[in-house]
Amino acid sequence: MERRSKTILRQKVAMPEAPALERRNGFQEVSLGYTPELAKVEADRCLLCKKPLCVPGCPVAIDIPGFIRQLSDGNLPAAYEILKRSNPLPAVCGRVCPQETQCEVKCVMGRKGEPVAIGRLERFVGDWGVAHGAAEEVEARLTGKKVAIVGSGPAGIACAQDLARAGVAVTIYEALHEVGGVLVYGIPPFRLPRKIVNQEIEGLKRLGVRIERNKVIGKIFTIEQLLHTKGFDAVFIGTGAGLPKFMGIPGEHLNGVMSANEFLTRVNLMHGYEKADTPIGMGDSVIVIGAGNTALDAARTALRMGAKEVTIVYRRTEKESPARLEELRHATEEGIQFCWLTQPVRLHGDVNGSVVAMECLRMELGEPDLSGRRSPRPVTGSEFRIQADTVIYALGTVANPIIARSTPCLKVNQQGYLEIDPQTQMTSIPGVFAGGDIVTGSATVILALGAGRRAAQGILQYLGLSREEERGEGHGLTMPAVSRAG
Amino acid sequence: MFLILKKEVFAPDTFLWEVAAPEIADAAEAGQFAMVRLKEGGERIPLTIADFDRERGTVTLVVKVVGRSTEEMATYSAGERFLDFIGPLGAPTQVKGKNHIVLVGGGLGVAPLYPILRSFKELGSGTTTILGFRTRNQIFWEERFRLLSNQLLVMTEDGSYGRHGTTIDALRFILSGEVPVDEVMTVGPIGMMQAVAEVTRPLKIPTFASMNSIMVDGIGMCGSCRITVEGKVLFACVDGPDMDAHKVDFEELKVRQNRFKKEEIASLKKYRGECALKKEGRIF
């Protein structure tokens, strides 16, 4: 097998992208993905390490050299099969994972150049699989067990997939009218096209998973009812992110001030990007507070919805920003402005109660804090104002209280997140499992997928269905350290 | 799809739907709300549940036309179906047995007061109900309320029916009477609920008001419905809709209710334009 050219490319093969000035006016996808030829060249950069460092960097321990070898050999079905063995949503994760802090940061190629573009290769193979409907239709022997999954986001999808493959009858209850959780209400289509999400959901349905939309568990049925009157043998809670955080500075009640959750929900879930009925409430000059992925999504969405000026305000520097590097680069190319080391202190409004400006303080970096990031402190007398008619808060979320309030024996921590056994993901109630943001607080898609899969194993064990040989190291689903990216 | 079993028109801009929704009816409690989404691309319209019948498996909504989506709702007839019905949402009204409770409803707010009245009645509380309408032809459900209330006062602002005056006049009158009042519950326009709170505040009578702030998802995700209550941010969709009326910042709420005024007017205009074109057969 002749797989390597004589000289090894130091740099990643660039991925084609829509031109910045063109893409900032619409919701078409920004990154266009590798062609088969480009994917082959990039795959050939991989050294196929015997003891790969990238694999432990992956929260779900994908056999990265394994899938890249198959890709390099032109065996796409085998490459896809290897990805799917560990990651239920490769086409999604290839797009949204913070690879630069997970697998790629560990890649030995990165020592003398750029690491292998593992994310782009994952995306290429994932897209191939989705386009070819390659998710295998497992002829699982039905076990007669029934499991309810609360929430159709990444954690729920992962859990459902593993359970369905093991012959469990799965019903997903989704609170909203669209299926996919954060993949449809949060991440904008220019970063994750709806087609990809929908095809993954179709794959779930082919596995026999039932999905009921518009059912808010904790309201229409309680967890207790699911277990005792609806006849489910176990329940998995993957309800995701909760209510937005505000800062508590004066003026946050003003009109024109909203959370990134609200803005993105109006545009994504309610199809504001297709000019549907739900109003957006955005003006010409937009400030986004925060610099994580959600902040960048909101800023770039604002631009696409017609804002003339979009400014990101963050109290630390670009270096501390938790966003994916690629998103920061894309945002800059599209004309988003950044005010680093800037702390909002007050919002000013007009007589009608609408926001007109934000008052800020300049910051400087001090000593590293508990998270290892240098903590910013204000420069005295540095107050200044930025004009804005729209201010979007992207400072993360707190726990959604619906399930906890309606489930008396469910243990939560001080912040309201569910307490679980990290091995099995089981909560304080036997037969009730949980994973994803409702356990960890805001984290990544891949961590939620990992939690969903661990919970599926925990559930199978609880139901007496887990086969001995599949336990233990086989699934590679030990609890990883939480990465910094959001 | 959800079937509209019955439609009743109360006034030119006010109508009732009885919707077949057994699971929602089964779970609903007094004071909760539901959301209607008519069609693909439609808004999620939050509406306080006006009644529910577990045996018939129905949920009743009373709707006032205030914008594009409610105007479109008004075009649906009994026998037609709409796309999504989500509920029950929000926390139920805290109904505890009291010696005497006063319920104050204004305009459309009269409707959701009915299941609250019924719940208090079931626990044996004494009830005085004050219903306020602008004028005679807007009055609905008077008989239903009369059957469950120990005392019922119907007020019209123009004096065309019942007593001449506002609900606030009636509330003052009741509170100056001899029956001690343990609690006041109010549903209606923000200005009215605020006025109720101001009447009961000096008397230190616990008072609750149902918040109808602007929502998107209604399930504790977006923060659109946030309300300042005693300096703290609370969310009408999961912490409410009922809030301690003495602690709510009503002035702020009034301003926030106008957040989408411009968009709402433009959207209504566009919708009416499209309807006119459809009538003329120019678009389908």
Task: Of A196-200, A265-269, B169-173, B279-283, give the lowest mean pLDDT range.
Answer: B279-283
Is A155 in contact with A449 (CB distance < 8 Å)?
A: yes
List A374's β-bridge partners, or say none.
Answer: A368
CA A327 vs CA A14, A101, A124: distances in Å? 15, 14, 18
List B104's β-bridge partners, or say none.
Answer: B130, B186
Query: What are the residue ranges of CATH 3.50.50.60 in chain A?
Result: 146-242+400-475, 257-393
Instruction: Give the separation between CA B52 and CA A313, rounded to whole angstroms.
Output: 48
Task: Of A38-42, A279-283, B20-24, give the lowest mean pLDDT range.
Answer: A279-283
The shortest CB-CB distance from A353 to any of B84, B217, B255 is to B255
- For residue A4, the model assigns a pLDDT of 54
The shortest CB-CB distance from A255 to any of B42, B87, B256 is to B256
Instruction: Give the separation between CA A174 and CA A153, rounded to whole angstroms.
Output: 9
Instruction: Give the separation between CA B77 and CA A91, rounded to whole angstroms.
Output: 45
3-class secondary-structure state, position B35 = strand
Return the residue in B221, B253, B265 with the most chain A beta carbons within 10 A, the one to mutate for interface testing: B221
pLDDT digits (tens, 9 = 90+) for A226-253: 999 999 999 999 999 889 999 999 999 9
Domain A146-242+400-475 has CATH 3.50.50.60: yes
How far B153 CA lies from chain A's nearest CA (Å)? Answer: 34
Cβ contact, residue pair A270, B235, below 8 Å: no
Closest residue of chain A to B264, computed from CA coordinates: A279
pLDDT digits (tens, 9 = 90+) for A126-183: 999 988 876 656 667 888 999 999 999 999 999 999 999 999 999 999 999 999 999 9
pLDDT digits (tens, 9 = 90+) for B153-163: 999 999 999 99
Pick the CATH number of A257-393 from 3.10.310.70, 3.30.230.10, 3.50.50.60, 3.30.1330.10: 3.50.50.60
Query: Contacts of residue B226 in chain A, CB cutoff 8 Å?
Result: 246, 253
Cβ contact, residue pair A278, B43, below 8 Å: yes
Two tokens, residue B73: 């709702």
pLDDT digits (tens, 9 = 90+) for B146-199: 999 999 999 999 999 999 999 999 999 999 988 899 999 999 999 999 999 999
CATH classification (class only), B93-210: alpha beta
Query: What are the residue ranges of CATH 3.40.50.80 in chain B?
Result: 93-210
Interface predicted TM-score (ipTM): 0.91
Work out the number of other CB atoms within 10 angstroms of the CB of residue A385: 12
Model confidence at B119: pLDDT above 80? yes
Q: What average pLDDT does this structure show over A305-310?
A: 94
Architecture in CATH of B2-89: Beta Barrel (2.40)
Query: Contacts of residue B36 in chain A, CB cutoff 8 Å?
Result: none
Query: What are the residue ranges of CATH 2.40.30.10 in chain B?
Result: 2-89
Instruction: Name the helix (H) or strand (E) containing B28.
Output: none
Query: Contacts of residue B33 in chain A, CB cutoff 8 Å?
Result: none
DSSP character at residue A141: P
Model confidence at B83: pLDDT above 60? yes
Model confidence at A450: pLDDT above 80? yes
In CATH, the number for domain A20-131 is 1.10.1060.10
